Amino acid sequence: NAGVTQTPKFQVLKTGQSMTLQCAQDMNHNSMYWYRQDPGMGLRLIYYSASEGTTDKGEVPNGYNVSRLNKREFSLRLESAAPSQTSVYFCASRASGRENEQYFGPGTRLTVT
Amino acid sequence: GQQLNQSPQSMFIQEGEDVSMNCTSSSIFNTWLWYKQDPGEGPVLLIALYKAGELTSNGRLTAQFGITRKDSFLNISASIPSDVGIYFCAGLYGTSYGKLTFGQGTILTVHP
């Protein structure tokens, strides 16, 4: 049982390049989330998917797009990377119902030069 | 939007000491979660709290959901070197599709 997996673990992009961060969970969770983590700012929600087939903006969605490919997979795309998007990106998932506990992947460290 | 203030920002303690950290909110929450993050890893859930006044333990960790529903506390007893890391609180109001609000984190350093 791998939990939440993310690929790649590290990535360096040049300004203007595009890329997709991949996330998958094997816990049969309904909801999935993308966060970014910057020093001293905790984790900020970029996009989330409450259930398969739905996506919504979080706190900092500008410059990103997402796709909930199926129940297991939720990808984050940067169409034209900017240095301000240098960050560590975490994917998380949550079962539906009363429990609000989110389980996180290991993260993708992205540098945009 | 909702904001969480987590304090202290950092702590330097000796092995064996007890540790306390807290989070306060400008709004009420109905869920409080505490996470620990090791360097280069994702946050790992430590304790979940769902009811005002609730006190929950996980080994040497104890967390409480404040009576006002605007704060939460995490205590670590008899700290050990592997307690080193960043501790985050997170709160949720209503269902909000699980959209958590995170504190800025407390960086804990334990000297052997």
Residue, of B50 and B93, whose pLDDT is higher: B50
Measure the CA–CA gap between A6 and A21, rounded to whole angstroms: 7
Which of the residues B97, B101, B106 would you substitute to probe the A interface, choosing the one with the greatest number of A C-beta atoms within 10 Å?
B97
Question: What are phi and psi for residue B97, nearest 5 degrees?
Answer: 50, 35
Measure the CA–CA gap between A65 and A58, rounded to whole angstroms: 11
Measured between CB atoms, which of B4, B31, B45 is closest to A103? B45
Contact in structure between B23 and A89 (CB atoms under 8 Å): no
- Contacts A–B by Cβ distance under 8 A: 64
Q: Which residues contact A76 (CB under 8 A, 6 or more apart)?
A: A20, A21, A23, A34, A46, A47, A64, A65, A66, A89, A91
Task: Please tell me the predicted confidence (pLDDT) of residue A97.
Answer: 66
Interface of B with A in 80-109 (CB under 8 A): 88, 90, 92, 97-100, 102-105
For chain A, list residues with pLDDT below 70: 1, 97-98
Contact in structure between A61 and A79 (CB atoms under 8 Å): no
Does residue B59 belong to the interface with chain A, where contact is any CB pair within 8 Å? no
Measure the CA–CA gap between A42 and B60, rounded to whole angstroms: 24
Q: What integer is the mean pLDDT of B72-77?
A: 98
Give tens-digit pLDDT for A78-102.
Answer: 999 999 999 999 999 997 766 778 9
Mean per-residue pLDDT of chain A: 93
Interface of B with A in 13-52 (CB under 8 A): 31, 33, 35, 40-45, 48, 50
